[in-house]
Structure 1
Amino acid sequence: MGRRKTRRNSIGRGLIGGAAVILALGAGAVAWAWERAIPPQPRPAAESFPAALVAEGARLAAVGNCIACHTVPGGRSFAGGLALPTPFGTIHSTNITPDEDTGIGRWSEAAFTRAMRRGVDRDGRHLYPAFPYDHYTRVSDADNRALYAYLMTRTPVRAEAPANDLPFPLNIRMAVAGWKLLYFREGAFTPDPAKPEVWNRGAYLAEGLGHCGACHSPRNALGAVDKDRAWAGGEAEGWTAYPINQDSPAPVPWTADSLTFYLRHGWHPAHGVSRGPMAEVTGNLAGLPDADVAAIAAYVADRMGTPSAERRRRGEDLQALVPHLNTDSGRTGSDERGEAVYRTACATCHESRRPLPFGGLPFALSTAVNAANPQNIVNVTLFGLPPGDGTVSAVMPAFGGALTDADMVALLRYLRGRFSDQPPWDGLERLVADTRSGAHHVAVRPADGIERAPRNVGAED
């Protein structure tokens, strides 16, 4: 009887000790993850910021594409509330206007810099990495100062963002601290002394504010960028973000010059027109100095590497045959229904020989037709390319109302077989059906990337 009581006492002491250890560990974790609040301050007067600093902040905000995530289509700029679907639930972007109650009007520059550098808001809450502070951490103090000046001189908008829709435990901000422990490394950009100045400038912009790898890289099960496969292709708002490394599927290899032209104008005669989220990127970069656009292009081209002699030769042959690519591609389609749809819906523009950006890209040059994933060609065929407002722009009609799913599948098989030497795509039927139904949500952008197309993320269908 005594031994049994002693054993019960030992178990009790063990449970109490185990609970104490768990509580101690929990308290330690909370203490480690806890961040202090930075006291609010009165909103600084807009005229207190030098005009040159505000102008520089505007250029930097364009690199960061800030307006894209922090503006609901048809709403007030930077007022937040945009729904950002993720594999874990929906996150709503915050109001970054200088409104004192619902925006960042009471944030000091130190609070703003902490959010950029460490992903912690003024109240000490960990920010979800939908805000790409894992890239913004590289931004210099001087550039953060300019961004702060720009945002603090915007029009204040009183707008409360809807609550995030995330499951337990992701709805607890402290959980983000664990994600940071695994995947986030704070630190400003360090130039590579072995590289030229233009390369380092491009790397700073592309890896930092430009956060190119956030879309163009695959992510792991916890939503972190796969650093071992950086720039190997990813997904953004229902679109495929193509690999922009040595695995680029572009039929004509990109060069620094072609990338510069594309990023500056939103199109290139050998690569087509930017669309989806990329239309926002090129639309915002339009206001950047030529030197910065060229620097980004130089860095990206270096990441892509030098194409093989065979790939370069094939690209040159394709470009030399541009006037004849659609009428004589050297291949024949095997789908009669697909060819009939092509002749009816596509050939008028894509065989017109009218130059880009207002003519159709020869399909043999199309990355979408040559890519491993057909999502982008499905998107643009179903939803088209809406025109920009008040400007002459590229435009493509949406064929979702004219083509059945069977028509779409036949057309895509025909395009792949005739204008590409890649193997047939699998799963077209399901992909077309899911994209049309909205099961696979797609953000559609107009040619200039402005936030107003009818199926944008955050807009009501």
Structure 2
Amino acid sequence: MSPAWNTPVLPAAAAALALALAACAGGARLPPPPPQTFSAAEIEKGAELAKLADCQGCHTADGGQAFAGGRPLNSPFGTIYTRNITPDPRTGLGRYSREAFIRALRRGVRFDGAELYPAMPYDHFAYADDEDLGALYAYLMTRRPKDQPPTPNKLIPPANIRGAVAIWKALFFHPGRFQPTPGRSAAFNRGAYLVQSLGHCGACHTPHNFLDAEETSKPLQGGVQEGWYAPPLNALSPASVPWTPEHVYSFLRTGFDRDHSAAAGPMGSVVRELARAPEADVRALSVYLATLMQPSPAAKGAARPADHVAQAAAAQPAGARLYAGACAACHDAGAAMMREGRPPLQFATPPQEDRPTDVVQVILHGLQPATGPRGPYMPAFAGTLSDAQVADVAAYVRARYSDRPPWKDLASAVAKARRQGGEG
């Protein structure tokens, strides 16, 4: 949603104050129920929903205990560290009753009434139903507790003032409830529910404004998250081959699809969880997303980008030489990797995108298999290629594997990607 600059200051401030007072009124600490309170069926359902929401991926630091928090999330205003969501009574969810937990996910309010930063996607969780949120609570409250205090956030003013989030909410947080689409299949509506609520796909795949709020008028039209570009999941998809439900299912379940590309960056964590999620739910996601991405102008008639080897080499000679030495052994026709069914670059989505972000990130930081050792792997070249060389390779990949115009200002894109780092 675009900033509402025509909103009068006093009404906005009054709305923010009302939100804060309402939060405090409902923020009393209540003792959580003991683990034996929850049924095995409710815990199992919560486990499935936690995978669909990628709770572990966000709330687990490298080398840390699952769900104990401490993972850094980069934002335009600094670094936010995810919180401990184990049932520890001092530093985790042990301080939350079921009602307080649902209030936190639905309204973005902590157990003590303080505002939660929207890095926790409560603008999506608000669309989930109480039964699902209750099951998620049951699952998290039965994990192994970990006494791990939160890592202090590193935010610039005024974002470092937690109370300022109330103003942000008054401007941008307008939660609703999921409404199924009449006439659509049960699988379509289940997928729509998961995408809009617990799956929170729009948190990455929707553009954000300068205050880091989703532009709700442009749902799933592509966004930037943690230095990676999350491409559109609608008819603006840059994929050169049409996404079918089977294509989407393969990608979400395994981390790659033969006619598209491999999961990279933050998507790797999502795929690791979806690989263990209920098959019916992943298929529902696939039905819904494939429907949104049809028809894609880039994929009309299943047109595949030409492999312009000679023309690309003439246009980008430096990049062609580097590619021949560093990339061709894996990516050219006949290479062992290609015989194993890995996505060919002429079908991959990143070379077709409007910005070079993902191609540059993959060259710098490589790929790690999302779902096991047999998944796609690529070494990182950040330590062996200079910024100018990375830019040359990216320019050559664009020219060889796409019919689209050259990317502009590649040098700046490479420098920015190197500063931000990557997550394979």
Extract unaligned runs of 5+ from structure 2.
1-8
Query: 1:154 offset after TM fit, Å?
Result: 0.5
The number of residues matched between the two structures is 412
Q: CA deviation at 1:406?
A: 2.5
Comparing 240-249 with 302-311, which one deviates more in the overlay? Answer: 302-311
- Report Cα offsets for 1:250-283 as digits up to 9, x if no partner: 1112112211111111111011211111111111
Other-structure match for 2:344 = 362
Asked if residue 203 in structure 1 is aligned to residue 192 in structure 2, the reply is yes
Do the aligned residues in 2 keep the contact of 1:350 with 1:361 (CA within 8 Å)? Answer: no
Q: Could you say if the C-alpha distance between residues 306 and 155 of structure 1 is closer, same or farther in structure 2, counting changes exceeding 3 Å? A: same
Match in the other structure for 2:399: 417
Aligned-residue offset at 1:431: 1.9
Distance 1:311 1:388 in 2: 30
Tell me, yes or no, if structure 1 residue 383 matches structure 2 residue 392.
no
Aligned counterpart, 1:30 = 17
Q: CA deviation at 1:126?
A: 1.6
Q: What do you get for the CA RMSD once the two structures are aligned? A: 2.5
Task: Tell me, yes or no, if the aligned pair for 1:109 and 1:148 is still in contact at 8 Å.
Answer: yes
How many angstroms apart in 1 are the aligned matches of 2:232 and 2:12?
A: 42
| C-alpha displacement of 1:228 | 1.4
Distance 1:347 1:27, change over 3 A: closer
Contact 1:272 1:356 survives alignment (8 Å):
no
Identify the residue that residue 146 of structure 2 maps to in structure 1.
157
Q: Corresponding residue for 2:93?
A: 104
Unaligned segments of structure 1, at least 5 residues: 1-21, 319-324, 446-461
Give the alignment of 1:78-89 within 5 angstroms.
Answer: 78-89=67-78
Letter of the aligned partner of 1:415 in structure 2?
V
Contact 1:30–1:174 (8 Å) recurs in 2? no
For the residue of structure 2 that corresponds to 1:229, the secondary structure is coil
1:244 aligned onto 2:223: no
- What residue in structure 1 maps to residue 282 of structure 2? 293
Check the 8 A contact 2:272/2:371 in 1, yes or no. Answer: no
Amino acid at match of 1:174: G
Residue 365 of structure 1, CA deviation:
1.1
Match of 1:175 in 2: 164
Aligned counterpart for 1:62 among listed residues 51, 70, 73: 51
- 1:41-56 equivalences under 5 Å are 41-56=30-45
CA contact (8 A) 2:272 2:370 kept: no
The range that moved more, 177-186 or 346-355, is 346-355
Q: Which residue, out of 221, 226, 229, partners 1:232?
A: 221
Match of 2:6 in 1: none
One-letter amino acid of the structure 2 residue matched with residue 399 of structure 1:
F
CA contact (8 A) 2:352 2:402 kept: yes
Equivalent position of 2:316 in the other structure: 335
Contact 2:195 2:285 in 1 (8 A): yes
Equivalent residues of 2:58, 2:71 under 8 A apart: yes
Is 2:389 the partner of 1:402?
Answer: no
User: For 1:342-390, what per-residue CA distance to the aligned partner results, in whole angstroms no more than 9, with x for missing partners?
Assistant: 1111111112354669565322112111111111111111111235697
Q: In structure 1, how many angstroms separate the alpha carbons of the residues matched to 2:115 and 2:220? A: 26
Whole-Å separation in 2 of the counterparts to 1:299 and 1:388: 23
Any idea what SS the aligned residue of 1:91 has? strand
Change (3 A) 1:443 1:339: closer
SS at match of 1:227: coil
Shift of 1:91: 1.7
Q: For the residues of structure 1 that align with 2:339 and 2:250, how far apart are their CA atoms? A: 12
**Farther-moved stretch of structure 1 (299-308 vs 377-386):** 299-308
> 2:5 matched to which residue of 1?
none
1:295-345: CA deviation from partner (whole Å, max 9, x where unpaired): 111111222222459722414xx6xxxxxx76x768542222211111111
Single out whichever of 167-176 and 102-111 deviates more from structure 2: 167-176
Question: 2:155 is paired with a residue of what secondary structure?
Answer: coil
Identity, in percent, stands at: 43
Q: Report the 3-state secondary structure (helix = DSSP H, G, I; strand = E; otherwise coil) of the residue aligned with 1:365.
A: coil
TM-score, reference length from structure 2: 0.90
Structure 2 residue 327 is the aligned partner of structure 1 residue 346: yes
Q: What are the within-5 Å matches in structure 2 for residues 117-196 of structure 1? A: 117-196=106-185
Q: Distance in 2 between matches of 1:156 and 1:101?
A: 10
SS in 2 for 1:426: coil
Larger radius of gyration: 1
Q: Name the SS of the counterpart of 1:235 in structure 2.
A: strand
After superposition, the C-alpha distances for 1:432-455 in whole angstroms (9 at most, x for unaligned) are 23323x2xx13312xxxxxxxxxx
Q: Please give the alpha-carbon distance, in whole angstroms, between the structure 2 residues aligned to 1:28 and 1:277.
A: 34
Deviates more, 1:339-348 or 1:397-406: 397-406
Measured in 1, the distance between the counterparts of 2:146 and 2:226 equals 26
- CA offsets 1:78-103 (integer angstroms, 9 cap, x no match): 11122222112222211111000000
Residue pairs, 1:423-438, within 5 angstroms: 423-436=405-418, 438=419
**Separation in structure 1 between the aligned mates of residue 245 and residue 372 of structure 2, nearest angstrom:** 31
2:385 is paired with a residue whose SS is coil
Counterpart of 1:444 in structure 2 is 423
Query: Aligned letter for 1:146?
Result: A
Q: In structure 1, how many angstroms separate the alpha carbons of the residues matched to 2:35 and 2:57?
A: 23
Q: 1-side partners of 2:15 and 2:407: how far apart?
A: 51
Do the aligned partners of 1:266 and 1:273 also contact (CA within 8 Å) in 2?
yes
Q: Distance in 2 between matches of 1:25 and 1:407?
A: 50
CA–CA separation in structure 1 for the residues paired with 2:399 and 2:97: 58
Supply the distance in 1 between the matched residues of 2:15 and 2:185 (Cα, whole angstroms): 45
One-letter amino acid of the structure 1 residue matched with residue 52 of structure 2:
V
Give 1:91's match in structure 2, choosing from 80, 103, 109. Answer: 80
Question: Does the CA-based 8 Å contact 1:269-1:355 persist in structure 2?
Answer: no
Q: For the Cα contact (< 8 Å) 1:358–1:395, is it kept in 2? A: no
Deviation at 1:116, TM superposition (A): 1.1
